[in-house]
Amino acid sequence: MEEKQTTYSDASLDKSTIDRDPLVLFRSWLDEAIAAGIHLAEAMTLATATRQGKPSARLVLLKQADERGFVFYTNYNSRKAAELDANPQASLVFYWPQFERQVRVEGTVEKTSAAESDAYFKTRPRESQIGALASPQSQVIPSREYLEQQAGELEEFYEGRDVNRPSHWGGYRLRAERIEFWKGRPSRLHDRIVYERGPDESWSISRLAP
């Protein structure tokens, strides 16, 4: 089977001209993906591992990215949460094929504050708030009907009232220590620029072979 030919743009990554702050470059790439109408442009693969090093990965949504790190929300009783509690090292991967761009982020993870989690939970659609209470994430359940019944009962219980964030649900923040930007180029001579955080919190920038 012949390999499908990919048409790459001529735009390149040059470490001498890109911003010294990787977050500036990341935000510009994400903003361009959102502006282009890419569905769930903020989706990212989150890779975690057990204390013994057994990996697992899944897609989650980025909810915030600033100098403190990359934030996502989940059930604290889920598999990913158990692995992060045991081994607070994780990586993220963003991929926007329409732009031939990929970003890999590696670092340490900690929970967001209760106040941050409360504030975000209040912005979620009511159905999602109910869902966070109804679903025992990553646990075995008897049927789809069981899940829908749980949600229905909670809808009745909270009718006419606000739904407060459950203590088992909240955010995590990944503090980036390494961020790699990949840009597809012809003949597999892709651009790879990596930022690495030093002891003084400054970023060094290097080019990697594709």
Question: Per-10-residue mean pLDDT for the chain, 210 residues long?
Answer: 50 88 98 98 98 97 97 97 98 97 98 97 96 93 94 93 96 98 94 97 96
Report residue 128: phi and psi, to 5°.
Answer: -70, -35
Contacts of 130 (CB under 8 A, 6+ apart): 151, 154, 155, 158, 163
* pLDDT on residue 16: 86
Neighbours of 182 (CB within 10 A): 21
∠ CA 177-39-26, nearest 5°, is: 25
Domain boundaries, the chain: 22-123+167-207
Output the pLDDT for position 145: 96
Regarding the domain delimited by 22-123+167-207, which CATH topology (the fold level of the hierarchy) does it fall under?
Pnp Oxidase; Chain A (2.30.110)
Other beta carbons less than 10 A from residue 209's beta carbon: 6
User: What is the model's pLDDT at position 137?
Assistant: 92
Catalytic residue numbers read 188
Give me the pLDDT at residue 10, please: 56
Q: Which pLDDT value is given to residue 9? A: 58
Which residues neighbour 161 within 8 Å (Cβ) at sequence distance 6 or greater?
A: none
| Cα first-last separation, the chain | 24
